[in-house]
Amino acid sequence: MKSKSMRQADLYSATMRSASSNLQATASTPPARAIASTAPAAPSAPAAGNNSFASLFGEVRTDVNDFIQHGSSETGSAALSTLSAEGQVYRERLQTTLSADNTAGDESQQQFLASIAPWAQQAGERLGVSADLVAAHAALESGWGRHPLRQADGGDTNNLFALKAAGNWRGGIAQSLTTEYEGGNALKKTEAFRSYPDQASAFKDYAQLLLNNPRYRSALNTGSDAHAFAQGLARGGYATDPAYAGKLARIADQIQAGRVATQHDATVAKTNQSGD
C-alpha cells in the first residue's frame, strides 16, 4: 500500500502534469494571481516556443516543490508571498486534491475498522492486547482491506494477516506473489497462503498462531503498547521486512489517536447536550 508521503508525491506529479498542459496553452498571456492582495507582480509573459515554456514550467515546479518540502521561514500570508503567482495557484490546487484524497482515505479506513471490530476485540482479549493493535496488524497486511489476498479465481481468502500455509496447515491454500527480504534485498516470490471461509475464522487462527508459537511470546500481554507489540512480532520473525515494526507501530498509533479523538468529541457533545 502506498504511504501518505507516496500518495502526496503521486498527486504532486499529477498536478504538475495538469499544470504543464494549462501553462502551455496560456504561455503567451500573464499568469493568474492566486491571492491578489499578497501575490508579487506577475512576471512578463514568456516568449512563444518550447524553450520559453520549459523554462517557465521548470521554475514553477521547482518553486512549488521546494515550498511543499521545506515550507517557508515566514508565516501566514507572508509565507504565501514567498511563492510566485503561478506557484500559489498550483499550491492551492495540490492542497485541494490532497485534502479530498485524505478525506476519502479516512472514510474507507474507518469503514474497514468497523467491519472487523468484533473479531479484533475477541482476538485482542485472547492475546492480552488492545483491539486497536490487532486491527492495525490487519490494516497493515491487507492495505486497510483494499488489497486482500485472493484465490486464483479472484475469490477473497479472508486472510487479513498474510499467514502462510506452512507446517501442519490443513485448510485452504492460495498462491500469491509477495515481497520477501533476504540480506537486505527485496525479492518477489510466489508463496502459499492460508485461505479461510470468513474473516472470523482468520482472526481466530491468527490469535491461535501467536499463542501457540513461543517466538511471539514477547508480543503477548502488551496491552495498548503499540511499539512493544510490533517489536515482539518483528523479533519473532513475523515478517522479513526490516522496517516492519515501525510500519505496524505507526498504523497502531494512528488508530489509537483516532479513537481518542472520537471519544473526546463524544464527551464534548454529551456535555453540550446536558447543558442545554
Q: What distance in Å separates the CA atoms of residue 106 and residue 152, rounded to the nearest whole number? A: 30
| Whether 74 is catalytic | no
Sign of the alpha-carbon torsion through 242, 245, 246, 251? positive
* Catalytic member of 63, 132, 141, 205: 205
Q: Which helix (H) or strand (E) holds 186?
A: strand 185-195
Place of cell 527480504: 181
Please, what's the b/e burial string for 235-253 (b: 16 or more CB within 10 A of its CB; e: otherwise)?
ebebbeeeebbebbbbbbe
| Whether 180 is catalytic | yes
Within 13 Å of residue 11, how many CA atoms lie on the same side as its CB?
21
Q: What distance in Å separates the CA atoms of residue 1 and residue 143, rounded to the nearest whole number? A: 5
Number of Cβ within a 10 Å radius of residue 89: 22
Q: Which three cell numbers stand for residue 41?
A: 507582480
* Catalytic member of 180, 191, 253, 276: 180
Closest CA to 223 of 245, 200, 251, 252: 252
Q: Which residues are catalytic?
A: 180, 205
